[in-house]
Amino acid sequence: MDFCKRQFTAALIAVLGLIAVAYVGVKAHLQPLFGVVIPYLALLLFFEGIIYRVIKWARSPVPFRIPTTASQHQSHPWIKRNLGEKLDNPSTFPYTVGRMALEILAFRSLFRNLRSELIETPQRPEGAKLVYWSYKWLWLGAIAFHYAFLTVVLRHLRFFTDPVPQVINKLAEVDGFVQFFVPTVYLSGVVLVVALLYLLGRRLTNPYLRYISLASDYFPLFLILGIGTTGILMRYVYRVDITKVKELALGLATLNPVIPEGIGTLFYIHLFLVCVLLAYFPFSKLLHAPGVFLSPTRNLTSNSRMVMHINPWNYPVKFHTYMDQENEYREAMYEAGIPVEIEPETAEETEPETTETEGEE
Amino acid sequence: MADYKNEFGWFAEKPTVEKKIYDRGKIIIGLVVFLVIFTIAFWKNLGKAIPPPQPSLKTPAILKLPEKERKCVEDRQFMREKHMRLLINWRDQVVRTGDRTYINSKGQKYFISLSNTCLQCHSNKSQFCDECHNYVAVVPNCWGCHSTKEQTVAKAEAK
């Protein structure tokens, strides 16, 4: 089995194994474990892990601005900059907030994603030409996935609150506006799974991407795909008793856990996969969520032309200059025929001085 | 702390960087906002005990039945999980074929009608249907057509 297939299969087997663990666990009547203990442990790991990571990141000093500009730096007043340029290369705090907002809410840097291609045609006798294309599909897949996932998570608040906030009800109403099927199909669930399949297919069909994809890239995709699929199956196909599910969820949220009888196995598989996602979060690539807030290339104002940034741990370093070098090896250099600044004869006359200065230092 | 020389030349010593949390204020604010938002369900429910819904079966029509016959078309677990699928399948069946008979898993025949059979027994919409629907924030669109004649049905049954 080659490298790519091994990475893919390892992740797939891991997720299927997790599903099997939950299935066997529930069949062995371990509901209190899968319904109460694991969710609380997973939440604890999630919060603790994220706080640990963020504090670890914060311990790295960032003394310099990293502009990584995609546009014109602020410069002379007669070099005009439009709004886009000011947002891409902000020189003031409000524009930096704007750049962060564009990055976090609209995935600005993914929007700039390019596809490169070597074009070889008979019309080009000089050989293949490298061409860059605008390529928005990754951006579209990513933004569809993230917003669908956000909507799904927010909608799940109806299981954790009583009475359910009006905002959540409105969100669910808008999400299910197609009024297709009973219970109403929520578009976010469909978009979530379709976007995930695109993101997975992208890794599998593009040979370059397949080559750099690791098990840790596939695993979250399979895991969230598993969560989405079990959720959709539970809602539309193999129903579970939703009031009992809410009893369990509210029990967790009120710190007064209960395990109601008669919830289907599918629910526990769903819950277990969510717990695994929460616990896995602080140890994985998914940390880009808090990480984006701490990206020095995004959150620092590009004012290095206006403000002097001094390395806080800088100290004067003694340089060993060329003349020091020559003074040391003048004879040897001369004998080897290497040109020297001062001939050895001349140097001998002034030698006492040079040795003195060197001694002083 | 100074520079040093070895056989390869002069080198600056590896800088020692102060071990501390940089931008402490911003980091703490960020973490607090994250924690508060992500634990909102805990805050909202703090110290609350929310009783599970108890759909009432005490309607005149049900009480009139002998104890043994107080059964719905399917068993309790099925109805709890899948009554919405059942109702929507009935709707499709009646609208498309006009066939108003349902044969349940035990082979018993039932007359299909939400207003006239289901709601005849369960005449107490607010204590039965709404009890769970409100609990899990579900808004079924049955009531758009099958208007709630709760009061009149209940009264008619009581006579």
Report CA dihedral (A162, A164, A165, A169) to the nearest 10 degrees. Answer: 180
* Domain boundaries, given as residue ranges, for chain A: 3-299, 322-360
Whether pLDDT at B76 is above 80? yes
Closest residue in B to A153 (Cα) is B38
Contacts of B45 in chain A (CB under 8 A): 160-162, 250, 253-254
Q: Tokens standing for B49?
A: 């005990």
Residues B93-114: tens digit of each pLDDT? 999 999 999 998 889 899 998 8
Instruction: Answer whether residue A217 shows pLDDT above 70.
Output: yes
CA distance A285 to A212: 14
- Per residue in A231-265, pLDDT (tens digit) is 999 999 999 999 999 999 999 998 889 999 889 99
pLDDT band at A152 (very low <50, low <70, confident <90, very high): very high
| Residue given tokens 């669930």 in the structure block | A189
Provide the 3-class DSSP secondary structure of residue A352. Answer: helix
pLDDT of A230 strictly over 90: yes
3-state SS track over A57-73: HHCCCCCCCCCCCCCCC
A247 contact residues in B (CB cutoff 8 A) = 52
pLDDT digits (tens, 9 = 90+) for A163-206: 899 999 999 999 998 888 888 899 999 999 999 999 999 999 98
- Total residue count of chain A as it appears in this document: 361
- Chain B closest-CA separation from residue A107 CA (Å): 20
Spatial distance between the Cα atoms of A18 and A12, rounded to a whole number of angstroms: 10
Q: Measure CA of the first residue to CA of the last residue in chain B; give whole Å.
A: 100
Closest residue in A to B81 (Cα–Cα): A241
Confidence band, pLDDT 50/70/90 cuts, at residue B155: very low
Residue B156 has pLDDT above 50, yes or no: no
Peptide bond into A163 cis (omega under 30): yes
pLDDT at A292: 93
The structure tokens listed for A11 are 């992740």
pLDDT score recorded for residue A128: 79
Please name the residue that has the structure tokens 């759909």.
B55
In this model, does residue A36 exceed pLDDT 70? yes
> β-pairing, A129-134 with A114-119?
antiparallel
In the numeric block, which tokens belong to residue A36? Answer: 């109460």
Q: Check: CATH 1.20.950.20 for A3-299?
A: yes
Sign of the torsion angle spanned by Cα atoms B83, A162, B35, A245: negative
Q: Which of residues 42-101 of B touch A (CB under 8 A)?
A: 42, 44-45, 48-50, 52-53, 77, 80-82, 84-85, 87-88
Q: What is the pLDDT of residues A317-357, one digit of tens each?
A: 777 889 988 988 999 999 999 999 888 888 776 655 444 44
Q: How far B20 CA sits from the closest chain A CA (Å)? A: 6
Contacts of B72 (CB under 8 A, 6+ apart): B79, B121
Residue of chain B whose Cα is closest to the Cα of A250: B50
| Cα→Cα distances A172→A160, A175, A189, B41, B42, Å | 15, 5, 11, 17, 21
pLDDT given for residue B149 in this prediction = 59
Which residues of A fall within a CB distance of 8 Å from B27?
A: 54-55, 58
Per-residue pLDDT at A312 exceeds 80: no
Please give the interface size between A and B, counted as residue pairs whose CB atoms are below 8 Å apart: 112
Which residues of chain B have a CB within 8 Å of the CB of A242?
Answer: 81, 132, 136, 138
Share of chain A above pLDDT 70, in %: 95
* CA distances from residue B103 to A12, A66, B90, B91, B112 in whole angstroms, order as listed: 43, 72, 11, 15, 10
Cβ contact A60–B22 (<8 Å): yes
pTM attached to this predicted model: 0.85
Do residues A58 and A268 make contact, with C-beta atoms less than 8 angstroms apart?
no
**Strand ranges for B7-91 from DSSP E:** 9-11
The nearest alpha carbon in chain A to B28 belongs to: A55
d(CA B65, CA B157): 12
Residue A34 has pLDDT above 90, yes or no: yes
Residue corresponding to tokens 């129903």 = A239
Q: pLDDT-derived band of residue B90, with 50, 70 and 90 as boundaries?
A: very high
The percent of residues in chain A predicted with pLDDT above 90, rounded, is 60
B49/A317 CB distance under 8 A: no
Which among B3, B17, B30 has the least Cβ separation from residue A293? B30
For residue A33, the model assigns a pLDDT of 94
| pLDDT attached to residue A360 | 40
